[in-house]
Structure 1
Amino acid sequence: MSFAPELADTATGFDPTRFEDLYIKEDGHYWFEPRNRLITELILRFFPACRRYLEIGCGTGFVLRGIRQVLPEANLVASEIHPSGLRHARDRLAGSDTVQFIQMDARDIPACSAFDLVGAYDVIEHIEEDELVLKEFYRSLTSGGGVVVAVPQHPFLWSQADEVGHHKRRYRRGELEAKMRAVGFEILFSTSYTATLLPLMAASRLRRRGPEPLEAILKREFDAPAWVNRLLRCILNIEVSLAIFGLKWPVGGSRVVVARKPNH
């Protein structure tokens, strides 16, 4: 189903030509795999009984596949503004008959009080009206339903990589939580992600202030040598394990927030 066909595969929020490269490189990548583990473990911790799940901006379905594994009985709705992303997501979830794929604008979710859980992982920073999107999340949830949101953090890390990624902002510490509370959400858990790699990330971003070719930016973000990729993945998996045990990292390249719509 298509609810915003006029925006399909336009340069809105993300370059749809990049889905193919993401689809190839996400599996095994030091940044994506530990983040998946953090997201799925938080879902199991806070919303193990979820039966109706909506993912906003599912991209190639990399996170969705992990959620399918931890919520095997749930009905999943995967939304994306770009049909080219949905095609890859369908390939990743091939054989699953409890996943529905829809083309949709997150600023206008065609559902009210319909889901137990909404997830948006590095999505709302691509949208100018992020507070409107958070209101739509709230409206689409049942009473007591939850949301898990991940965003890039720390404006001082802003670089050409954010511009290439069509980001509108990097969030200040506490900014996302404040916007979620203003909508009505109760914050259950909040932590940084890539806290242990923040010095490396800052060094990489801050020393490259001049223009760079797109190919150089993408290579640096996605094509680490195999041994470097293994090392960084190991470091981030240790970080994630500590977060799962309750450690809330104060700073880091990303912020992950778990919240709930109060029962009425």
Structure 2
Amino acid sequence: MPLQIATDFAFRAEEPTDVLLQFEAAMIPEQRLSEFRTELSSWDSFARIDAQDDIGDRLWVRAEGRFEASYRAVVEVDRLLTKLETLEKMDPLKLPGETVQYLFDSRYCRGDKFQSFVDAEFGDVSGGRQMLAMRDWIADNFTYAPGSSSATTTALDSFVERRGICRDYAHVMVTLARAAGVPARFVSCYAPDVTPPDFHAVAEVFLQDSTTPGGGAWYLLDATGMAEAGEIVKIGVGRDAADVSFMTSFGMTEFLEKTVTVTRV
């Protein structure tokens, strides 16, 4: 079923300021865009560049005064869905080189801090079953609480407080997976049924590919339970939220407003 996306936001810069934006649905094989339109208000400079892992685009703008962005798209997700409990962990020696970075600690996700916990709590299972057990543990032990975290909240902070928003749930999932030796990355996305409506965030883990013997593939996991893999529209991926924020300002800006709606067509 196609998904219709509508996103609008605005910010103000008192002087010419460089801002990096990433809010468009990625044009990748697993999701087809039948319609899309991006409208930006006036800018001093503009550039479109590839995003991380060639998933999506980033937009550089140099803006002054009020800046507005509007995005409309119709997307149909055509993603291979697999039962994760049937998948095994990849042998580290056989991991593709581009996945290894997602085993390392990052700004918000310090997997080394969780190795003993992961071994004690999830050490009796492995591979996809272990990833599902981690997802379920987060869902059972965390409270979804808008406003309970900030841009500085790490996975460790969320783990201690046992609450957060989708960003925090994804950070904890990524961190636990890395602590188990499974490459994991943060995915910014759109999805229907997100409450309150907004940009969404989930985790993605690298396990054996069910269709290619000896190969591996990325699989989505949402510990909030709000989004299904077959209805997640990827915007971008990264080591954590710092890599795929929809707006990163390299100077003083005032964020003014934002609306995001995702509906089934």
TM-score, length-normalised on structure 2?
A: 0.27
Rg larger in 1 or in 2?
Answer: 2
- By relative contact order (CA 8 Å, sep 6+), the higher-ranking structure is 2
More strand by share: 2
More helix by share: 1
TM-score, length-normalised on structure 1?
A: 0.27
